Amino acid sequence: MASWSVWSGRCGVGFYATACLMVPSLGHAEQEPANSRKVLHAEAHSPRPVPVRTVPAHSESMTVSAARRAFHFAAAQHEADSSTRLTPELLVKRGVVNLRDLEKVAPNLSIQSVNGTGTMNFYLRGMGMRDFTQNNVPSVMPYLDDVAFPIATFMSGMMFDLAGVEVTPGPVGFTHGLADTGGEVNLHTADPTRTWHGGASEDIASYARSRTNFFVSGPLAHNLFFRLAGQMNEGGAWQYSPSHGRYQGAANEGALRAKLQWLPDEKTDIMVTGHWMDDESETTLVRPVANFQPNEPYPILPYKQANWSMAPDFAKLIGRPANLVPSEHNMMWGATLRMSRDLGFARLTSISSYNSGRIAEYTDQDGTTWHAGDSYRNINGDLFSQEVQLKSRGGDAPLQWVVGMYYNRTNMNQSWFYDQSDTNKYLTGTSYLQKQQTFSQYAHVSYRLPGRVTLFAGINHESDDRHIQNVATSYYYPDGTTSVARFAPQGALGNQVTFETGAQWQALSNLMFYFKISKGFKPGGFTANTTQVQDQLAPFKPETDLGYEVGFKSDIIPNRFRLNGALFYYDYHDQQYLSVVALPVGILAHYVNIPKSYTYGVEFNAELHPLDHVYIMQNFGYMRGEYQVFQALNKTATTAQHAATGIWSGIYSDYAGADAGMPKLTLNGSADYRLPVWGKYEWETGVDWMYRSQQQLAPRSYGAYCLPPYFQLGAHTTFRPANDRWSVTVYASNLLNRQYFESGAITTTTYFWIPGPPRFVGGRFGINF
């Protein structure tokens, strides 16, 4: 078993990625007291300097020779949460190479593309927001190395050289960062190492897809360390356009990340991180499934075929070539300064971060050669954040606490252009400037009582202030004339106190129960699509939810059978929802607040090591949700009334008791067989699977307004030496070549689905030192 511990602990790319999970982090952290929150941080992230500096210089070699643990995150088994924690090895093995892929490895999680682009919307336990303009706070906040990204698109391309990922459901913001209603997705990147390590991997697959990764890390001086990592993704175009005679959807993306760590003394740690990403990838073409112009039926194409159009007038308007294909033209960069100081009784940490992005996306939202849903958007934005935190030293002390403040500021210039000339006979463009700042203060405390009972409580106060201004919509007519409508600025202020309280009971050394109540908060915002009247800019209200969760964590048979579970219920108020409203000019898209709704469900995570060479993982998620108070516009009745009276006046339907959407059942798991070969090598083979049930895209919807259920199966086999100097892998995703759809939405004349990729068969070779 020693060879397995070398493979699991040593830094390297090989088969398992350009991520590096350092041995001192795992080996040392899992020996700390089980109730230490500091231990969880050290174990779940890449190695932090505090544990590294406190272990002897020879500890790394000692840990490498230690016995292999069947399951990771032993310390987290004593934490009162239902977070899904993922190692970099698992991410690579399951083909998790972008944010959307995370739904393959976490229960009740949906991450869906906006119109086939790299922009994603997050939904966790049924809570989420369909924000195609990306100018509002996501219901599930993405983080990169403890920095919040309210503009989620700015995190694109960052899933490489990882140390781990955490998916945390429910109200958050009591121990770090910003408050939110749905939860968090946290990416932790690998830190510099104390000794020299490096590696590279090349992944070649079907449709000429190529993924290249590398990293190099080591000391520059006795107290100065660095890490440089990068990736490049190319090819993979599997959709064919008959009208253009070419394949569509090829990736063309590159990214770099550099870290410099300075330890001026035994108590101080300073880390500077910089990253850059450029994305010129083609987007996935949509598949039209409902046509609102029945006199012109849509062409029916095979699954892997799709079309698009680019009118010369539209290309001239947006300043792009007439042969432009649906694609991204994005560049993001940023820098983070993290400083911490051991004060003896606590650790003081400061995290300062600046991120900037320039995004340009062209999509064809009707999936035909018509000019009925072509869209081009530009986002120029920047994010600045500052967090200051004071945290108790952890260890075995019964009292643990953390207090902190988080400030976030965003500036965004955005413009949208639409070609609907086949329906409206003109082109449109809407532009605006949005500014926002958030100030959050939080505190959390836990105390361990006799009888192995721990009580905990947290509080967060958050104030969010945002303004939208310089809003203008231009209409470009075929005769060359232009008209411009300008609108007054709007503001929205959110101010809320949220809380968390609960208890956990360590009934046995390998069995823990917990219960908690928590309240979440998400600021309001603006509808910022094609603005036609001032009323469209009226801000929607903040949303809140009150969550109840009871769960358990158990290692029923240590290193053989682990089972964790949670039961949850969320009472939702003023849920933010993309709907439509009737205004004097017609029926227009607008975010509304659903006064009252609820979601409940259950989750289980099982890990089994029944035989010496067999490893099985299974996630199970089931949830239901209903709208309790919700009056929504009836478009059919409202349109009929307008035809009879000539007046646009809303007629509303009662959706009380309607299903709140989202897949009710999510399953994902894997089974692996690992066998030592000739005493110097290891062979591993396995399969993985994912199932998602039907998803309603609108209340009481059916047919084209529901995404069909789907099942995915993958497989892999890997051969590597015990010292992990190299590895060779053959794999397949969507092994059964199923046809399925990942998300759906609506444009002026079309309801469309986003198809998922077909079967990919590939090979990966990696070397490391």
* pLDDT (tens digit per residue) in 228-274: 999 999 999 999 999 999 999 999 999 999 999 999 999 999 999 99
pLDDT of residue 679: 86
Strands of 639-755 (E only): list them: 652-654, 665-677, 681-692, 695-696, 706-707, 710-721, 726-733, 741-746, 750-755
pLDDT 10s digits, 595-643: 999 999 999 999 999 999 999 999 999 999 999 999 999 988 998 999 8
* Cβ 494 vs Cβ 463: under 8 Å: yes
Q: Is the pLDDT of residue 39 over 60?
A: no
Query: Which carries the bigger pLDDT value, residue 416 or residue 20?
Result: 416
Tell me what the mean pLDDT of segment 470-489 comes to: 94
Tell me what the mean pLDDT of segment 160-186 comes to: 97
The encoded tokens of residue 151 equal 């503009």
Distance CA 378, CA 359 (A): 5
pLDDT of residue 48: 34
**pTM of the prediction?**
0.90
The band of 423, judged by pLDDT with boundaries at 50, 70 and 90, is confident
Question: Which amino acid, residue 597?
Answer: S
pLDDT of residue 686: 97
Angle at 162 between CA 158 and CA 167, to 5 degrees: 85
pLDDT 10s digits, 512-542: 999 999 999 999 999 988 888 999 999 999 9
Helices (H), ranges, 66-185: 88-93
The band of 66, judged by pLDDT with boundaries at 50, 70 and 90, is very low
* Cβ 681 vs Cβ 674: under 8 Å: no
Query: Which carries the bigger pLDDT value, residue 9 or residue 143?
Result: 143
Distance CA 366, CA 374 (A): 7
pLDDT of residue 210: 98
Let me know if 603 is exposed, middle or buried by CB neighbors in 10 A (0-12, 13-18, 19+). buried
Q: Is the pLDDT of residue 661 over 70?
A: yes
The band of 115, judged by pLDDT with boundaries at 50, 70 and 90, is confident
* Cβ 633 vs Cβ 582: under 8 Å: yes
pLDDT of residue 377: 92
Tell me what the mean pLDDT of segment 710-718 comes to: 97
Of all residues in the chain, the percent with pLDDT exceeding 70 is 90
Q: Is the pLDDT of residue 25 over 80?
A: no
Distance CA 251, CA 253 (A): 6
The encoded tokens of residue 707 equal 């995404």
pLDDT of residue 29: 33
Residue 294, number of CB atoms within 10 A of its CB: 6
The band of 295, judged by pLDDT with boundaries at 50, 70 and 90, is low
The band of 294, judged by pLDDT with boundaries at 50, 70 and 90, is low
**Which positions ≥6 away from 622 have C-beta within 8 Å?**
108, 601, 602, 603, 664, 665, 666
Q: Is the pLDDT of residue 289 over 50?
A: yes
* Cβ 153 vs Cβ 110: under 8 Å: no
The encoded tokens of residue 457 equal 């409580």
pLDDT 10s digits, 535-588: 999 999 999 999 999 999 999 999 999 999 999 999 999 999 988 888 888 888
Q: Is the pLDDT of residue 107 over 80?
A: yes
Tell me what the mean pLDDT of segment 184-197 comes to: 97
Tell me the domain boundaries of the chain: 2-768
The band of 62, judged by pLDDT with boundaries at 50, 70 and 90, is very low
pLDDT of residue 37: 33
pLDDT of residue 69: 62
The encoded tokens of residue 709 equal 């259920």
The band of 166, judged by pLDDT with boundaries at 50, 70 and 90, is very high
Q: Is the pLDDT of residue 90 over 70?
A: yes
The band of 202, judged by pLDDT with boundaries at 50, 70 and 90, is very high
Q: Is the pLDDT of residue 386 over 50?
A: yes
- Cα–Cα distances in angstroms (integers) from residue 203 to residues 130, 503, 545, 689, in the given order: 33, 46, 43, 21
What phi-psi label fits residue 353: left (phi over 0), alpha (psi between -120 and 50 degrees) or beta? beta
- By C-alpha distance, which of 81, 72, 34, 43 is closest to 565? 81
Of 101-105, 312-316, 393-397, 556-560, the least confident = 393-397
pLDDT of residue 293: 66
* Cβ 140 vs Cβ 108: under 8 Å: no
* Average pLDDT of the chain, as a whole number: 89
Tell me what the mean pLDDT of segment 702-713 comes to: 93
The band of 437, judged by pLDDT with boundaries at 50, 70 and 90, is very high
Q: Is the pLDDT of residue 736 over 60?
A: yes
pLDDT 10s digits, 318-345: 999 999 999 999 999 999 999 999 999 9
Q: Is the pLDDT of residue 194 over 50?
A: yes
The encoded tokens of residue 129 equal 């927001």
Please name the helix (run of DSSP H) or strand (run of DSSP E) that holds residue 2, with its range, or none: helix 2-9
The band of 52, judged by pLDDT with boundaries at 50, 70 and 90, is very low
**Top-level class of domain 2-768:** mainly beta
